[in-house]
Amino acid sequence: MRIRSMMKLAVSALTVGAVMALGSAGDASAQDKRVRWNMASAYGSKLTQLGTLGVRLSEQMEAVSGGSLRFKFFEPGALVPALEMFDAVSAGSIDAGWSTPGYWTGMNEAFALFAAVPFGPRAGEYLGWYYHGGGKELFDELYAEYNIKGVMCGVIAPEASGWFRKEINSTEDLKGLKMRFFGLGAKVMEKMGVSTQLLAGGDIFPALERGSIDATEFSMPAIDLNLGFYQVAKHYYFPGWHQQSTLFDLMMNKEKYDALSDTQKAQIDAVCGANITAGLAEGEAIQGAALAELKEKGVTIHRWPPEVLAELEAAWNDVAAELAASNPTFKKVWDSLSAYREQYKVWGELGYL
């Protein structure tokens, strides 16, 4: 009996030891799969929506993955200058970046069509094209040329058209101005005789204050209020014909992304989808109060007259035709978006007030 009991104890000890060994091996394997990435941001962490959505992305990624994915948020310029993160992510010197595809038109103008389109779609229509109209496939194809995987990760409501020191009554008043402008809208403004330049968000106010630019556009009222443009320019114009909605994305080095597990990739998709919902809902909710505060600060709110909008739209049609003729990739994406919008128009006119 004693021998039999000792044998049972020995077998039990071996079993426990084996289980512990397997557990340790499993833990080590799980540890090996954990991702600890540095994520550069084009926007400061305190900047309403643009920055705070990047922080939310970082926090939710860790929470949803149970710590398997940690994307550490870095302020603009902490790793590389904001407008240089594309090359850094492509090369793998930075793991990931939070920004908008519209910043990378210097690489290919087609990137702008995945950010904001003059006289283009609102958020619902835009996302419809991206997810169900062929946009995502074209987006993946374009980024893959640069060893980057992009996941659409945010959308915001319409932007304002711009801040001006003096009242603008016609497109003639635009001629000769120096203005910060983003994306494809900048090419339209150049047709109007405006000299444009792209500045990162944190560089705009100093440039406006010292007079190196005469005017600027950046974002929606709640965001522009945060940046203090009203202190220098008192004329604020709507609607944001150049950005009826704006998309933001998480860029990742493609080789590093491809090495992730299927579960981790699904977690990234899930967090980014939730970030899109959160961004759009918040953006729609906070503009009324921001506009009221801007009026209290002495800002005059203007709406472009129909004739000005018509001139801007005609200039945009010229720009789109020129880019499609000179850039095959732009044409491919533009044709896809245009075909989708033509089909969507039937529903849009019937379904909405």
pLDDT in tens, 1-52: 443 443 344 434 434 344 333 333 333 334 448 999 999 999 999 999 999 9
Q: What pLDDT is attached to residue 8?
A: 43
Predicted pLDDT at 12? 44
Model pLDDT, residue 347: 96
Higher pLDDT, 18 or 191: 191
Residues 101 and 69 in one domain: yes
Instruction: Note whether residue 23 is domain-resident.
Output: no
Residue 23 confidence (pLDDT): 38
Domain range for residue 167?
162-242+288-328
Count of Cβ atoms closer than 10 Å to residue 87 Cβ: 14
- Residue 215 confidence (pLDDT) above 70: yes
| Co-location of 127 and 41 in the same domain | yes
**171 and 317 share a domain?**
yes
Q: The domain that contains 40 carries what CATH number? A: 3.40.190.170
Q: What is the pLDDT of residues 140-154, one digit of tens each?
A: 999 999 999 999 999
pLDDT (0 to 100) of residue 5: 43
Confidence of residue 134 (pLDDT cuts 50, 70, 90): very high
Do 113 and 230 fall into the same domain? no
Residue 345 lies in a domain: no
Note whether 176 and 252 are same-domain residues. no
Place of tokens 């007079």: 211
Same domain, 121 and 218: no
**CATH number of the domain where residue 292 is located:** 3.40.190.10
Residues 47 and 91 grouped into a single domain: yes
In a domain, 261, yes or no: yes
Considering only residues 120 and 4, tell me which one the structure prediction assigns the higher pLDDT: 120
- Based on the domain organization, do 75 and 190 belong to the same domain? no
Whether 250 is covered by a domain: the verdict is: yes
Q: What is the mean pLDDT of the chain?
A: 91
Domain count along the chain: 2
Q: Does residue 111 sit in the same domain as residue 67?
A: yes
Looking at residue 131, its amino acid is Y
Percentage of the chain exceeding pLDDT 70: 91
pLDDT interval class at 190 (50, 70, 90): very high
Of 4-18, 123-137, 159-173, 324-338, least confident by mean pLDDT is 4-18
- Full-model pTM: 0.87
Task: Look at residue 188 and tell me if it is in a domain.
Answer: yes
Q: Are residues 130 and 198 in the same domain?
A: no
Q: What is the mean pLDDT of the segment spanning 330-339?
A: 98
- Is 50 exceeded by the pLDDT of residue 98? yes
Query: Average pLDDT, stretch 308-314?
Result: 97
User: What band does 108 get if pLDDT is binned at 50, 70 and 90?
Assistant: very high
Query: Which pLDDT score is estimated for 31?
Result: 44
Residue 124: per-residue pLDDT: 96
Q: Is the pLDDT of residue 179 over 50?
A: yes
pLDDT at residue 176 in the model = 95
Average pLDDT (210-222) is 94
Q: Does residue 80 fall inside a structural domain? A: yes
Whether residue 255 sits in one domain with residue 122: yes
**Does one domain contain both 188 and 315?**
yes
Lowest mean pLDDT among 5-9, 87-91, 180-184: 5-9
**Residues 122 and 128 sit within 8 Å (Cβ to Cβ):** no
Task: Give percent above pLDDT 90 in the chain.
Answer: 88
Pick the residue with more confidence: 31 or 197?
197
